[in-house]
Chains A and B, each alone.
Chain A
Amino acid sequence: MNYRKLGIFMGKKTIKLVFLLIVVCIASFWIVEQSPIDPVRAYIGEMSIQPEQKAKLEEYWGVNTPAHEKFLNWAENILKGDLGTSLIYRMPVTDVVKERFAASLLLMASSWLLSGVLGFILGIVAGMTNGTLIDKAIKVYCYILLAAPTFWLALIFLLIFAVNLGWFPVGLSVPIGVASEDVTFFDRIHHLILPTITLSLLGVASIAMFTREKLIEVMSSDYVLFAKARGEKGFDLVKRHGIRNVALPAITLQFLGFSELFGGAVLVEQVFSYPGIGQAAVAAGLRSDVPLLLAIVIVSAVFVYSGNLIADIIYEFVDPRIKQQEMKT
């Protein structure tokens, strides 16, 4: 592989990311500034308070400083690595994000893998049996999944598997009333299963439909016709030529799906009360925790950006055809 090329590529992408983050920061700060949130009220909650005390707090928080000064102060602290203090969790935002993001990452990674593998297999099966009852069944299944909202599916799953059948816990990531050092690995897995399945469903449908279309296209190509003429047939033919040619674009698409994954996580975590970054985002938004909300916006931007970056790298550096073109130019 051409390491110099990769270096330049990564350099360019990093510069782009920096610009993106600056724009995201300015935009989200401006939106928050425009919102009718009163940070003092958010901090003290429902407590009643004297006007003098409120004025003191306002001065302490710097509520009345001009917007651009606020932004510059905030940006300066961010550059120093200080994301501020979360108003609802009463601890440094960095710690909240770290803890929450780790939990979410586990959930997103497992459902990302599950949806990728399951979707790809379903797509291959549907593509191979194009036009038959199996294909139609898979297609209908995918359309239903695509049409059904994630949070609704989450509720239905919760109703069936957690409430009626009692196979899984109704929420949270660890059992209630157990000391954190006593929580076993199995407990965590047990709590993870239902949210993971729910979150992966949407991804399954899009990957399966894409893989199906792509496989049908590949199987009607000249090179598959020639492979048939050479006596290749059945699953061997699909394996040798179909899967080989479908895998790369499908993996690329799966990486591009990071944004949907994050969006889905917000809804699923909310329904399952799973203490991840999505749930924190909702809480921060509803309860006016501005520092936390802004931090989550930045983290999610980086997360989605890295998914796109990986897709780009696969496209530019792994596909032998693109490599060749790069060499020619």
Chain B
Amino acid sequence: MTNTSQINVEKRGKTEALLKVKDISLSFTQYASGLRQTDLKVISNLSMEAYSGEILAVVGSSGSGKSLLAHAILGILPSNAKLSGAMEYDGHDLTQKKKEELRGKDIVLIPQSTTYLDPLMRISSQIIGSVDAKNADSRMKLQREIFRKYDLKPEVERMFPHELSGGMLRRVLVSTAVMRSSKIVIADEPTPGLDENNLNETLSYFKDMANRGYAVILITHDIEAALKISDKIAIFYAGTILEIANTDDFTGEGEKLRHPYTRALWNALPQNKFRAIKGHQPMQDEVLEGCFFYERCSTRNEVCSKCVPDLKICNGGMVRCNNVS
């Protein structure tokens, strides 16, 4: 890579995760009827790890709370959100204060749509961000360099967000992430509604980032896109991660996959069996005692309905299922 700006990390040992998310739960306080408050649990006991130089795809259906996971890591949740559990960054506790310090520097977000850009601010000001005068010049240079790299014309920097085409917008949003020499990139649904060419191009940016040593967390509902470039796939279901599998595990009829839901997801793809399983994800206000997948599982037994299975390490991946040893 020719980009001189990246003082990025040398590939660290694969054994040590850059970001560890340990057993986090997220709930919102809501007024149900009248003054009665209820807690709406959107993420429960979620654990995952992100490694430098790797792409971790968090795959789950739309509206299941995946974006909130990204917001939780960045510490930009709304004030009525309650977050429990722990996070670790580079061996240190990732507290809210630490998150505020790191966000935009070490940890960056690539948002999903044009609504995440200020409609009245020119593109270059948004990419460069808030800087004091003495850094403005070097930032400007860096931004031009990045624009060249991502094939964005110089006049784009004077444009307003509504003037961008879909493809340009994608590249602009990616540009915001590489302005800083960050270590973790969280991309929230970066590929909605893109055609084949644009999709592959966008995915290649993430592959490129991972090659340069970033830890990339790709949040998406598109498992096919995720499989193209990711190293690991985390299956997000009903607010938790049921399985973290290596991309190579997705082969054949899914024999190597650990969780029945992952297998069902894999077999539902058109190029595989194209077979959907019955039922739907539990709603966020449902109180679940057993395994979140119990209702739809084909291999369930009595234990599954009683308590939530622990996250177990299995064949180089992780799984939350009682039937796996």
Residues of A bordering B, CB below 8 Å:
220-223, 225-233, 236-237, 240-241, 244-245, 248, 319-321, 324
Shortest C-beta distance, A229 to chain B (Å), equals 4
B177 to chain A, nearest CB (A): 9
A223 touches B129 (CB 8 A): no
Q: Does B250 contact A (CB under 8 A)?
A: no
Would you call B271 an interface residue if the criterion is a C-beta within 8 Å of the partner chain's C-beta atoms?
Answer: no
- Give Cα distance in the complex from A233 to B163, angstroms: 27
Complex Cα–Cα for A241 and B118 (A) = 7
Least CB distance from B77 to A in Å reads 10
Give the residue name and chain of the A residue nearest to B129 (CB). Answer: A230
Contact A229 B115, beta carbon cutoff 8 Å: no
Question: Given A240-B121, A321-B160, A324-B160, are A228 and B116 neighbors across the interface (CB < 8 Å)?
Answer: no
Partner of A320, one of B104, B111, B115, B160: B160
In whole angstroms, what is the CA distance A118 to B111 when docked? 36
Given contacts A223-B118, A230-B176, A240-B121, 4 further A-B contacts (CB under 8 A): A223-B117, A229-B103, A233-B100, A236-B130
**Which B residues lie within 8 Å of A230 (CB)?**
103-104, 108-109, 129, 176
Q: Is the CB of A228 within 8 A of B115?
A: no
Pairwise interchain contact A231-B105, C-beta atoms closer than 8 A: yes
Q: Are A226 and B121 in contact (CB under 8 A)?
A: no
* B141 / chain A contacts, CB cutoff of 8 Å: none
Q: Which residue of A lies closest to B122 (CB)?
A: A320
User: Separation in Å of the A237 CB from the closest CB of chain B?
Assistant: 8
Q: Contacts A221-B115, A222-B111, A321-B160: A232 and B121 contacting too (C-beta < 8 A)?
A: no
Bound-complex Cα distance A230 to B103 (A)? 6
CB contact under 8 A between A231 and B104, given known A226-B111, A226-B116, A241-B118? yes
Known contacts A230-B103, A230-B108, A230-B129; A244/B162 CB under 8 A: no
Question: What is the minimal beta-carbon distance from B181 to any residue of chain A, in angstroms?
Answer: 13
Does chain A have a CB within 8 A of B268?
Answer: no
Q: Which chain A positions have C-beta within 8 A of B108? A: 229-230
- A223-B116, A236-B130, A245-B118 given as contacts; is B74 within 8 A of A229 (CB)? yes
**Residues of A contacting B78 in the complex (Cβ-Cβ under 8 angstroms):** 220
Residues of B within 8 A of A (CB): 71, 74, 76, 78, 100, 103-105, 108-109, 111, 113, 115-121, 129-130, 160, 162-163, 176
Q: B100 — which chain A residues lie within 8 A by C-beta?
A: 233
The answer, among A220, A221, A229, A237, for a CB contact under 8 Å with B109, is A229
The 5 closest A-B pairs by CB, nearest first: A231-B104, A230-B104, A226-B116, A229-B109, A222-B115
Most chain-B Cβ atoms within 10 A of its Cβ — which of A227, A229, A236, A248?
Answer: A229
Tell whether, in the assembled complex, residue A222 and residue B116 are in contact, meaning their CB atoms are under 8 Å apart: yes
Is the CB–CB distance between A244 and B120 below 8 Å? yes
Residues A223 and B119 in contact, CB atoms below 8 Å apart: yes
* A225/B116 in contact, CB under 8 A: yes
| Nearest-Cβ distance from residue A294 to partner chain B, whole angstroms | 44
Report if A223-B109 is in contact (Cβ < 8 Å); known contacts: A231-B104, A232-B129, A240-B130: no
In the complex with contacts A223-B119, A244-B120, A321-B160, A232-B130 CB distance below 8 A:
yes
| Distance (whole angstroms) from the CB of A320 to the closest CB of chain B | 5
Beta-carbon nearest neighbor of A224 in chain B: B118
Q: Judging by beta carbons under 8 Å apart, are A231 and B103 in contact?
A: yes
Instruction: Say yes or no: A248-B120 contact (C-beta < 8 A), given A229-B104, A232-B129.
Output: yes
Closest B-chain residue to A228, C-beta based?
Answer: B76
Contacts of B115 in A (CB 8 A): 221-223
Q: Is the CB of A227 within 8 A of B118?
A: yes
Residues of B within 8 A of A241 (CB): 118, 121
Contact residue among A222, A225, A233, A244 (Cβ-Cβ distance under 8 Å from B121): A244
In the complex, 20 of the A-B residue pairs with CB atoms within 8 angstroms, ordered by the A residue number, are A221-B115, A222-B116, A223-B115, A223-B116, A223-B119, A225-B76, A227-B118, A228-B76, A229-B74, A229-B109, A230-B104, A230-B176, A231-B103, A231-B129, A240-B130, A241-B121, A244-B118, A244-B120, A248-B120, A320-B160
Docked pose: A248 CA to B130 CA in angstroms = 21
Q: Bound state CA distance, A178 and B162, in angstroms?
A: 61
Find the A residue at minimum CB distance from B161. Answer: A223
Contacts of B116 in A (CB 8 A): 222-223, 225-226
- In the assembled complex, the Cα of A324 lies from the Cα of B176 at a distance in Å of 24
Q: When chains A and B are docked, how far (Å) is the Cα of A248 from the Cα of B118? A: 14
Residues of B close to A221: CB separation below 8 A: 115
- B104 lies within 8 A of A245 (CB): no
Chain B residues whose CB sits within 8 angstroms of the CB of A236 once the complex forms: 130
A84 CB to closest chain B CB (Å) equals 50
* B109 neighbours in A (Cβ, 8 Å): 226, 229-230
A130–B284 CA distance with the chains assembled, in angstroms: 29
Are A320 and B120 in contact (CB-based, < 8 A)?
yes
Which A residues lie within 8 Å of B162 (CB)? Answer: 320-321, 324
Residues of A within 8 Å of B104, CB to CB, are 229-232
**B100 → A minimal CB distance (Å):** 7
* A228:B118 contact, CB within 8 angstroms: no
Choose among A222, A236, A319 the residue with the greatest number of B CB atoms under 10 Å from its CB. Answer: A222
Closest approach, in angstroms, between the C-beta of B189 and any C-beta of chain A?
Answer: 13
A230 nearest in chain B by CB position: B104
A229 touches B118 (CB 8 A): no
**A222 smallest CB distance to B (angstroms):** 4
Contacts of B176 in A (CB 8 A): 230
Question: How far is B105's CA from A245's CA once the two chains are assembled, in angstroms?
Answer: 25
Looking at the assembled complex, report how far the CB atom of A157 sits from the nearest CB atom of chain B, in whole angstroms.
39
Bound-complex Cα distance A236 to B117 (A): 16
Query: Which residue of the partner chain B has the closest CB to A239?
Result: B130
